[in-house]
């Protein structure tokens, strides 16, 4: 039988052969059924090994061929080519899939033969074309005519669902005009048994979506005995012996589709076209709702494969709804990290303020005044240092100690120190005065300031009016012990100035109050009760904030760890799905290469 699509280059031809595509059976009484299928009768005998020969020619990029034996799908073939050329696909289907009689779950691939029908079958008049079962071989073509069209085979009983037609339709069979006398059963010899993995692979490959919006063409062969066909007086519609080619039936139930729409699947780069098409798992899942250019809105199923398909076109399967949004998680983590940082800085400021309060001490105005007075009285002027030279560290230290102590020589006569005082005065008068004119002067002009050994004129005038001490450490008077009178003793006061020592007196500054000891200086008033309570409250608040910040940080780290684990699992799933798609593609390519391929242009 033959068919053609009006206004298109697509046409097909299907015949039943005996043990191969060379010995084809004669066909009788060809007609077109109500559902648009092209039907005929073929004569067979018991024990005949049957095969199906198909030939498709026309412009398409994807073709699927399904063979039904007694109402159950037993074989499926796929073919593809570039849209630049017409497909010229010849195929011979000799083996079919059945359930193993031992396991009822695993598959067996074998050839079929004609056997007598069961005696307990109840035959009835034909009612519906879609409910035909025993005595029928049906071949369906599904061809891609428009880019993006794809459909799922739902009205199908698969080879792994039933061992025989009786399991699906029962012991009742309907027929048109001639009652069935035979059924097709698997042959025992030459079969190949599949394990569980191979069985699942076969089922998965067969249940992929078909190209187009439905079956492109349907051929039905009613196999009957030669005597029954002769009794029905059917005319020969095809015969190789009588050279009767038959008539090509137009597919009237198909809507018109321009062949140019197939060009949408043509490869842009002809050098990238391969002999075998690329088929991915995503391309056979479901029919796409719309063709979009956005990557986020892209459907799961793309257009059927072309010869230019490459590995880069394989898209990973979509994850289940309700999965994590990685960008949103990262944004929340960054926000929480910033808040944690602010809390940490605030805690640091509170700790610094607490430390400052503990170490802070109030200044003592009395001690500060005494220290400044002592420093001003003991530090020599820079001008005097230039005249007398540099003073050694030891002499300077002793001079400062003597100057701090009060001069007790002014309180009364010290006869035992009289001679010593006279010697000191004589040494002071005999000491040579250094000649300032002999010293070389620097030619460079220095700015006024203590760093250059110069002071202002105002300070010089103030120093010239104030009494000066002796520069020589030897001129400093050693303090004499103060004589105290015991109680009960009488003493006559001397005349004023009568017991003063001879010679010039050196004035000295006496502090208004005796200097405080280091222990007295360090003793400061302690913090008040209010300060203690305030500090305790700040410590409690700081500890609470620290615990809250630590808890938030742990929560953030926990969510980050969950997001990281989720990302790793998602990446692993994507890798596995990509590997599965590659393996399925390679397996499909290997399966397609088993048949003969012919891509020559048909005029």
d(CA 87, CA 424): 135
Residues 6 or more apart whose Cβ sits within 8 Å of residue 399:
378, 391, 473, 476
Range 47-68 average pLDDT = 92
Please report which confidence band the pLDDT of residue 25 belongs to, taking 50, 70 and 90 as the band edges: very high
Range 158-164 average pLDDT = 85
For residue 122, pLDDT over 70 is answered with yes
Work out the number of other CB atoms within 10 angstroms of the CB of residue 135: 27
DSSP H helices, 61-185, are 166-169
Residues 6 or more apart whose Cβ sits within 8 Å of residue 423:
none
**pLDDT tens figures, 426-453:** 555 555 555 544 455 555 555 555 555 5
Q: What is the per-residue pLDDT for 504? A: 56
For residue 239, pLDDT over 60 is answered with yes
For residue 138, pLDDT over 90 is answered with yes
pLDDT top residue among 133 and 116: 116
CA of 164: how far to CAs of 160, 414, 456, in Å? 10, 147, 126
Range 64-68 average pLDDT = 94
CA dihedral (408, 413, 415, 417) in degrees, to 10, reads 20
Please report which confidence band the pLDDT of residue 307 belongs to, taking 50, 70 and 90 as the band edges: very low
Contact 466, 384 (CB under 8 A): no
CA of 176: how far to CAs of 29, 39, 124, 222, in Å? 12, 11, 10, 9
Q: Which residues pair with 276 in a beta bridge?
A: none
Please report which confidence band the pLDDT of residue 225 belongs to, taking 50, 70 and 90 as the band edges: very high
d(CA 310, CA 246): 42
Range 280-290 average pLDDT = 39
**pLDDT tens figures, 491-505:** 445 545 445 555 555
Range 293-306 average pLDDT = 40
For residue 123, pLDDT over 50 is answered with yes
**pLDDT tens figures, 242-256:** 888 888 888 877 766
pTM over 0.75: no
Of 20, 16, 22, 66, the closest CA to residue 42 belongs to 16
pLDDT top residue among 146 and 488: 146
Contact 16, 24 (CB under 8 A): yes
Range 466-478 average pLDDT = 52
DSSP string covering 14-74: EEEEESSSSSBPPEEEEEE-TTS-EEEEEEE-TTPEEEEEEEEEES-SEEEEEEEETTEEE
Range 573-577 average pLDDT = 90
Lowest mean pLDDT among 51-55, 295-299, 563-567: 295-299
d(CA 331, CA 458): 70
For residue 315, pLDDT over 80 is answered with no
For residue 592, pLDDT over 90 is answered with no
pLDDT top residue among 260 and 24: 24
* E strand intervals along 537-602: none
Rg (CA), the chain: 59
Q: What angle do CA 559, 560, 563 make, to 5 degrees?
A: 85
d(CA 144, CA 155): 19
For residue 12, pLDDT over 90 is answered with yes
Residues 6 or more apart whose Cβ sits within 8 Å of residue 535:
354, 357, 358, 527
Structure tokens at 538: 């700040």
For the chain, percent of residues with pLDDT exceeding 70: 57
d(CA 53, CA 90): 8
Give the chain's end-to-end CA distance (angstroms, integer): 21
d(CA 252, CA 369): 121
Domain boundaries along the sequence of the chain:
2-275, 326-354+530-573
Structure tokens at 579: 């590997």
Range 376-385 average pLDDT = 46
Q: Is the dihedral of CA 388, 394, 400, 403 positive or negative?
A: negative
Range 566-578 average pLDDT = 90
Please report which confidence band the pLDDT of residue 35 belongs to, taking 50, 70 and 90 as the band edges: confident
**pLDDT tens figures, 495-553:** 454 455 555 555 555 555 666 666 555 566 677 888 888 888 899 999 999 999 999 99
Contact 559, 396 (CB under 8 A): no
Lowest mean pLDDT among 58-72, 306-320, 524-538: 306-320
d(CA 353, CA 523): 23
Range 98-112 average pLDDT = 87
Give the burial class of 403: count Cβ atoms within 10 A of its Cβ; 0-12 exposed, 13-18 middle, 19 or more buried: middle
Q: What is the per-residue pLDDT for 147? A: 83
For residue 297, pLDDT over 80 is answered with no
d(CA 554, CA 548): 10
Query: Over the chain, what is the mean pLDDT?
Result: 71
d(CA 218, CA 222): 13
Lowest mean pLDDT among 41-50, 313-322, 518-527: 313-322
Contact 230, 29 (CB under 8 A): no
466 HSE (CA, 13 A, CB side): 14
For residue 4, pLDDT over 50 is answered with yes
d(CA 432, CA 565): 94
pLDDT top residue among 40 and 128: 40
For residue 151, pLDDT over 50 is answered with yes
Q: Is the dihedral of CA 270, 274, 276, 279 positive or negative?
A: negative
């Amino acid at each position: 039988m033959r068919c053609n699509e009006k206004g298109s280059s697509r046409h097909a031809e299907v015949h039943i052969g005996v043990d191969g595509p060379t010995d084809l059976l004669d066909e009788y009484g060809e007609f077109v059924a109500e559902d648009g299928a092209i039907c005929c009768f073929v004569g067979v005998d018991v024990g005949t090994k049957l095969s199906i020969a198909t030939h498709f020619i026309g412009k398409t990029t994807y073709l699927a061929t399904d063979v039904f034996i007694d109402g159950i799908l037993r074989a499926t073939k796929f073919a593809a080519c570039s849209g630049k050329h017409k497909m010229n696909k010849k195929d011979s289907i000799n083996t079919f899939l059945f359930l193993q009689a031992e396991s009822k779950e695993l598959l067996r691939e074998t050839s079929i033969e004609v056997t007598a029908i069961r005696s307990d079958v109840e035959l009835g008049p034909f009612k519906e074309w879609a409910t035909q079962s025993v005595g029928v071989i049906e071949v369906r073509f599904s061809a891609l005519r428009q880019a993006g069209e794809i459909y799922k085979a739902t009205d199908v009983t698969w080879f792994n669902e039933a061992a025989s037609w009786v399991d699906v339709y029962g012991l009742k069979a309907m027929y048109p005009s001639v009652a069935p006398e035979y059924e097709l059963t698997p042959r025992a010899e030459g079969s190949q048994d599949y394990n569980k993995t191979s069985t699942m692979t076969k089922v998965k490959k067969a249940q992929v979506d078909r190209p187009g919006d439905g079956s492109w063409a349907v051929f039905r062969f009613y196999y009957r005995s030669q005597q029954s066909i002769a009794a029905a007086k059917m005319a020969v519609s095809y015969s190789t012996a009588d050279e009767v080619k038959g008539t090509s039936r137009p597919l009237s139930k198909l809507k018109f589709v321009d062949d140019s729409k197939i060009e949408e699947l043509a490869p842009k780069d002809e050098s990238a076209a391969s002999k075998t098409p690329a088929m991915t798992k995503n391309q056979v899942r479901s029919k796409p709702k719309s063709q979009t250019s956005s990557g986020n809105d892209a459907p799961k199923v793309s257009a059927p494969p072309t010869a230019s398909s490459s590995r880069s076109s394989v898209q990973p399967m979509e994850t289940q709804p309700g999965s994590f949004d990685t960008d949103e998680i990262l944004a929340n983590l960054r926000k929480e990290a910033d808040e944690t940082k602010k809390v940490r800085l605030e805690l640091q400021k509170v700790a610094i303020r607490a430390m400052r309060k503990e170490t802070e001490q109030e200044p003592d105005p009395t001690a500060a005044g005494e220290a400044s007075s002592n420093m001003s009285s003991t530090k020599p002027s820079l001008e005097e240092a230039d005249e007398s030279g540099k003073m050694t560290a030891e002499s300077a230290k002793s001079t400062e100690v003597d100057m701090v102590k009060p001069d007790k020589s002014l309180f009364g006569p010290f006869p035992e120190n009289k001679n010593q005082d006279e010697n000191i005065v004589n040494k002071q008068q005999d000491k040579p005065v250094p000649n300032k004119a002999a010293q070389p002067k620097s030619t460079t002009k220095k700015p006024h300031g203590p760093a250059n050994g110069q002071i202002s004129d105002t300070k010089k005038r103030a120093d010239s009016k104030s009494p000066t001490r002796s520069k020589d450490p030897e001129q400093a008077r050693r303090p004499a012990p103060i004589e105290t009178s015991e109680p009960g003793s009488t003493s006559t006061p001397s005349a004023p100035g009568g017991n003063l020592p001879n010679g010039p007196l050196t004035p000295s500054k006496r502090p208004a109050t005796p200097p405080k000891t280091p222990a007295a200086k360090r003793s400061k008033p302690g913090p008040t009760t209010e300060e203690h309570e305030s500090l305790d409250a700040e410590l409690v608040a700081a500890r609470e904030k620290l615990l809250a910040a630590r808890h938030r940080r742990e929560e953030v780290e926990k969510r980050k760890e969950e997001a990281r684990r989720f990302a790793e699992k998602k990446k692993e799933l994507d890798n596995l799905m990509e590997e599965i798609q590659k393996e399925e593609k390679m397996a499909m390519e290997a399966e397609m290469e088993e048949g003969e391929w012919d891509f020559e242009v048909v005029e």
